[in-house]
Amino acid sequence: MADTQKTATLTLDGNTYELPVLSPTEGPDVIDIRKLYGQADVFTFDPGFTSTAACESSITFIDGEEGVLLHRGYTIADLAEKSHFLEVCFLLLYGELPTAAQMEKFESIVTRHTMVHEQMLKFFSGFRRDAHPMAIMVGVVGAMSAFYHDSIDIADAHQREVATIRLIAKMPTIAAMAYKYTIGQPFVYPRNDLDYASNFLHMCFSVPAENYEVNPILSRAMDRIFTLHADHEQNASTSTVRLASSSGANPFACIAAGIACLWGPAHGGANQACLEMLREIGTVDRIPEYIARAKDKNDPFRLMGFGHRVYKNFDPRATVMKQSADEVLELLGIENNPTLQVAKELEKQALQDPYFAEKKLFPNVDFYSGIILEAMGFPTAMFTPIFALSRTIGWISQWKEQIEDPGMKIGRPRQLYTGHAQRPYVNVEDRG
């Protein structure tokens, strides 16, 4: 629990109110206003919740000013370099890095839950072939509650655990099936002899007509993408999952809500928007024109993939992602791809421009992840589903933490009402 040694004083209309100040392990102090409405009959106003702590959590910490991202106290750089995605999943879920025996057991359980209920395959045929994979994922993940009735009782700790494992294990299968469905290829079943990332690539790119060998460099890059997107504190989609879960909704419905929120171009769709921007620029010689447009306040054009709402320094995930991008592009021999050349030169010129340095607009994780995914062969429509697959562990960890919090209450934000005051009803024949 946070420390409560300090207090803050609010003076309003001549009355003084003492408010507890909570001191976290890391980050700024938090003024506790839970009793403010009852005491002073006032609300606080914070559109976008940019200055509001909506929950207490011990999972992830971000220091945007210093470019720090910690999962359970471990830096994202250390986890991306020394760990792997399923180990990070264990860490986020249970709070500590696993022992060798715990890791082996966890991997085994996840691996043996990757298949989906066979009846779910027919669910896909209800979608048009040109449906966006995210639309399919929202529907299919939400429908899991209709197939797995034995893991929707959130009051049962065992059922919560089963739902957690099922979501982590089956999300790659569902994402791969959504991809295969949209390109008209048969579904590929998971293989228990492959690791998590390799299995996903296998389900996406193998076909019955020939063997598919997963390149270890691509598998490692995929695993890093999963790891770097695993959790990111109380962002829009995580807050959506928490808000949905506060009503007692089942875990599959809550995660489906998170997927729907992530779909937005300002959130999970940012890497797709970044790649589309690079294609719009087209050639290296046009970069100065677009940089000038980005600096023009009257021009709607913005450099996608630069800057971040939270990070006012550099995005610590971007450094690792850039390394993976270099490895993947070298492996595939496509360093001279025009879009990739534009990306590299745009990064170089933007970092040298004082305008971007002053505003602390540095390349973020979305700038590089889209480049890697396109190089691997994924269409842009699959970028956000892969993000959703990665973020599922963060969502379910945050969901689990909230459900197990004895102080949990249903979310009920307040508002600053600016509509009409109460007025009498006018019959239709009397309205002018």
Supply the residues annotated as catalytic. 308, 366
Report the alpha-carbon distance of residue 382 to residue 373 in Å, rounded.
Answer: 9
In DSSP terms, 62 is beta-bridged to 69
Closest CA to 60 of 221, 239, 261, 248: 239
- CB atoms under 10 Å from CB of 262, counted, come to 25
Report the alpha-carbon distance of residue 141 to residue 147 in Å, rounded.
Answer: 10
* Structure-token match 């993947």, residue found: 328
196 close to 226: Cβ distance less than 8 angstroms: yes
305 close to 277: Cβ distance less than 8 angstroms: yes
> What is the residue type of 429?
E
Grouping H, G, I as helix, E, B as strand and the rest as coil, residue 6 is: strand
343 close to 349: Cβ distance less than 8 angstroms: no
For Cα atoms 44, 56, 156, give the angle at the middle one, nearest 5 degrees.
Answer: 120
